[in-house]
Chains A and B, each alone.
Chain A
Amino acid sequence: MESLKAEGVKDVFGIPGGANLPTYDALYDADFRHVQVRHEQGGGHAAEGYAKASGRVGVAFATSGPGATNLVTAIADAMMDSTPTVFITGQVRTELIGTDGFQEADILGATMPFVKHSFAVTDPRQIPEYVHEAFHVASTGRPGPVLLDIPQDLSRADIDYLPRTEPVELPGYKPSTEGNIKQIRIAAKALASARRPIFYTGGGVVNANASEELRELAGSDRFPVTSTLMGLGAFPASSDRFLGMLGMHGTVAANWAMDRADLIVAIGARFDDRITGKLDEFAPHAKVIHIDIDPAEISKNVGAHIPIVGDVKQVLPKLTREYRALQTDSGRLEEWWSTLEGWKDAHPLYYEAGKDGEIKPQFMIEALHRASQGDAIVTSDVGQHQMWTAQYYGFDKPRRWINSGGLGTMGFGLPSAIGAKVACPSEEVVCVAGDGSLIMNVQELATCVTEQVPVKVFLMNNGYMGMVRQWQELFWDRRYSSVDMGSSPDWVKLAEAFGAKGMRCESSADLEEQMVAALEHDGPVLMDVRVAREENCYPMIPPGNAARDMVEAPRGAVSG
C-alpha cells in the first residue's frame, strides 16, 4: 500500500478474494479510493479508461485463479492500445504453486504474450521495488500493461517499507526519447521538397500529450492532417487543415490523400491494417517519415525512408525548428490543397436524413455533440456506433475520445467511462454504447450506482450486432446469422433495477432535449435510443481493397 501511495496512486479498481485478502485488509485503512467493480474485466477496463482520460497509470486488483483470468481481456486490450496500466493479482500461497491448488492459475504464463512486462514476487522484500519498476515500465516509453503477481503469503508478510525515491534502473529497459537530430534535419528537408505531404497522426500524439507541438508543426506551413481512430482529438477536428479520420471507415479525402501523397509523416501511428488496407497498394507514391518511440514499429508494416525513434513530444519541436530554419515556398502546396478541397467538397461524410422522426445513428451522435457542447469525454463500445461516434462527434481536444481500437473489445464502453469519470470527476463523461456490447459488461451499472459514478450511457439501440450484420449484408449475401438481438432486455427497466435512471427516446424530434435532460440529471443514466435498424456505416474500404476503392453511402433518389 505504501508503495502504491509512493507512486501517487489515488484510485484503484478491483474485487477481493482469498488470495488478495491481505491487500484488501490493508486497503481498509488506506487513504485512497478503491472502486469496487462487479467483474474483474470491468475493473481492468475502468483502469484503462482512467489512464486514457488522465494520462496517469490505471490500477486494477484481482484475486488468483478466476479473478486473474477475468482480467485477461483487459490486459490484452491495454497492450494493443498502449495504455499505461498496472494489474496486481493475488496468487495462491507459495507452497501451493504448481500443485493445481485451489484457485491457482498461471496468470503470468497466460498473459505473457500481451503484457509489456510482468513480475512474479518470490520474496516480500521485492514488493516495493517491483511496484516502483512496474509503474516505471507501464508509463514510460511506449506505455502498456504490467502485471504483478503476489502469492498470498508474501503479501501478508510484514516488511519494513523503505521508500524508493531513486530512479528505476532496469539494465534492459532504456527507451530512446530524443530523436536523432540528423534524421530530423533530413526529415525537415524532405518536408520542404514535398509537394503533396500529409501528416498521419495516431494514439502516440495523445499519449505524449503533444497536441500543442503537433499544431505548431502543422502550422509552420499549410500541412494537411489526418488521424487514426486512436489519435482523434490530438488535432482539432474543426480545423480546416483536418481531413478527418483515415482508414477503413475514414473520410474519402483522408484516404485519397494518403493514396496520392508524395510524403507521409507518420507521427505516433503504427500502420495498422485498418489503415493500409491491401498493403502492396498502400500509398504507392509516398516516401515515409516515421516518428515512433518504439523502434520495432518502424518498418514493421510499411518501410520507412526516414525513421526517427523518439518521443513525439521531444521530436516535433525540433522538426518544427529545423523546418522553419529552411527557405520554403508554401506556394508549392497550392495545387495539393485545391485537390484536397475538391475532395472534401465532393465527398463529405453523408447520410440520408431520417424520415418521420426516425433517428439515424449519425444524427444521434450529432445531437449528442450539441447536447454536450462537443466537450464531453466520450467512451464507446465496439461496432458501428463506435465508428459513427468517431466520424460525427468531432473531437477538438485530446483525451476526450476513449475506445478500444486494437483489440476491439465489446463491453469496453461502460467500465472505461467509470474509470474516466473517477479520474476526471468534474468532466462530463458519456458512453456511446452498442446494444450487443453493453450487455457484456452491463453489471457495471451497479458500480455506477453504489460507487456514485454518474456516467451517462447513450445506447445506440439498433437491435443488431450491427457491424457484423453490415458485413453479412455486404459480403455474405445478406445471410443474417446470429446478429439479431431480439427484444431483450428492456433497457429502461434494467437501468431502474440497478438503481440508475432509465430513459427511452424513439423520435428525432425530442432527442437532443432528452439528452440534455439526461446530462443534467445528477446520477447515472442509461438512455435507450432507438435508431434506424439497418443503417450501414460509410464510407468504407471493403476488406482487402486499397484506399482508392472506397465505397460511399449510396445516395437515394430523393435525398434529403
Chain B
Amino acid sequence: MEAGTPQVVKLEDLHVAGQLSGRKHILSILVENKPGVLARVAGLFSRRGFNIDTLAVGPTDDPSVSRITLTLDGAVHPIDQVTKQLHKLVNVLKIRDMEPEETVAREMALFKVSSAVENRAEIIQFAEIFRAKIVDVARRTMTIEVTGSADKIEAFERMVRPHGLVEMVRTGEIAIGRGHD
C-alpha cells in the first residue's frame, strides 16, 4: 500500500479545499512576448469578472519572454480559479503566486504636491523620512518619487494629502522571490 492512501475513505471525512484566502496576492506571470498577449490576459480578467488591483508589464532577461505582475484581492476572488483560467491561455508560460514572506515587492510612485512656502519644509521632511527623492520643484508644486511596498506608498500618500495632492502616478507592484543561498 502506498504511503498517503488511507485504508478506508469515509465520505464524512472528505472536504473541499478552501477557496478564498482573504489576503492580497501578487501573481508573477511569464508570458511569451507576442503581439496581443496582454490583450488576452486583460480580456480574461474582464470577461471572468476578476478585478485587477495593479498591473505591471515589462521585459525579462529573456527577450522572448515578458513578465506581467499583477495584484488582486484573495478575499474576493478564488485565486486558484484565476490562475487556472490564466494557465489556459496558450501564451502563458508560468504563474507564481508569490508567498508574502518569501517575496520582495516594490512599487514606484510620483506625487505632485502643492508646496506653498509655509509647508515646503514639512514636505521635504516627509520625503526624507520615507527616503523619497524630490525630482522636480516648481513655483507652486513639488514632485516626489517614492519607492517601496504598496503600504509605504499609501502611508506617504496619507501624509502629503492634507497638504494638497495635485496628482499621483503609481506603477503597480513588481516582485521577486527572496534569494536562497
> Helix, strand, loop or mixed for chain A's interface?
mixed
* Interface stretch of the complex, out of A181-189, A198-206, A218-226, A516-524: A181-189
Q: Does residue A305 face the partner (Cβ distance < 8 Å to B)?
A: yes
Residue interface bits A389-424, CB-to-B below 8 A is 1, else 0 = 000000000000000000000000000000000000
Q: Does residue B147 face the partner (Cβ distance < 8 Å to A)?
A: no
Assess A185 versus B5: contact at CB under 8 Å? Given A113-B43, A296-B88.
yes
User: Given the complex, which residues of A lie within 8 Å of B5, measured CB to CB?
Assistant: 182, 185-186, 189
Assess A112 versus B43: contact at CB under 8 Å? Given A172-B90, A182-B4, A296-B84.
yes
| Cross-chain contact A305 with B15 (CB below 8 angstroms) | yes
How many pairs, one residue from A and one from B, have CB atoms within 8 Å of each other in the complex? 79
| Cross-chain contact A186 with B9 (CB below 8 angstroms) | yes
User: Given the complex, which residues of A lie within 8 Å of B92, measured CB to CB?
Assistant: 172
**Nearest CB in chain B: distance from A554 CB, A:** 38
User: Given the complex, which residues of B lie within 8 Å of A294, measured CB to CB?
Assistant: 88
Assess A193 versus B90: contact at CB under 8 Å? Given A112-B43, A299-B80, A306-B14.
no
User: Given the complex, which residues of B lie within 8 Å of A108, measured CB to CB?
Assistant: 36
**Nearest CB in chain A: distance from B116 CB, A:** 48
| Cross-chain contact B16 with A173 (CB below 8 angstroms) | no
Contact of B19 among A137, A172, A185, A303 (CB under 8 A): A303
Q: Does residue A190 face the partner (Cβ distance < 8 Å to B)?
A: yes
**Nearest CB in chain B: distance from A349 CB, A:** 31
Question: Which residues of A (81-112) have their CB < 8 Å from a CB of B?
Answer: 108-109, 112
Contact of A296 among B10, B35, B81 (CB under 8 A): B81
User: Given the complex, which residues of B lie within 8 Å of A296, measured CB to CB?
Assistant: 81, 84-85, 87-88
Which residue of chain A has the shortest Cβ distance to B5 in the bound complex?
A185
Assess A193 versus B32: contact at CB under 8 Å? Given A299-B80, A305-B15, A305-B16.
no
Q: Does residue B11 face the partner (Cβ distance < 8 Å to A)?
A: yes
| Cross-chain contact A170 with B9 (CB below 8 angstroms) | no
Total number of A residues with any Cβ neighbor in B under 8 Å: 35
**Nearest CB in chain A: distance from B55 CB, A:** 17
Q: Determine the distance from Cα of A137 to Cα of B91 in the docked complex, in whole angstroms.
A: 12
| Cross-chain contact B11 with A112 (CB below 8 angstroms) | no
**Nearest CB in chain A: distance from B120 CB, A:** 48
Question: Which residues of B (78-97) have their CB < 8 Å from a CB of A?
Answer: 78, 80-81, 84-85, 87-93
**Nearest CB in chain A: distance from B132 CB, A:** 39
Residue interface bits B90-127, CB-to-A below 8 A is 1, else 0 = 11110000000000000000000000000000000000
Q: Does residue A533 face the partner (Cβ distance < 8 Å to B)?
A: no
3 nearest A-B residue pairs (beta carbon): A303-B16, A189-B9, A296-B84
Task: Report 27 cross-chain contacts, Cβ distance below 8 Å, ordered by A residue.
Answer: A116-B88, A117-B89, A117-B90, A120-B35, A171-B32, A172-B31, A172-B90, A182-B5, A185-B5, A186-B5, A189-B9, A192-B8, A192-B9, A193-B8, A193-B9, A193-B10, A194-B11, A287-B11, A287-B14, A288-B16, A295-B84, A296-B87, A298-B84, A299-B16, A300-B81, A304-B16, A305-B15
Given A171-B32, A186-B5, A189-B9, 8 other A-B residues pairs in contact with their CB atoms under 8 A: A108-B36, A112-B43, A186-B9, A189-B5, A192-B8, A192-B9, A193-B11, A296-B81
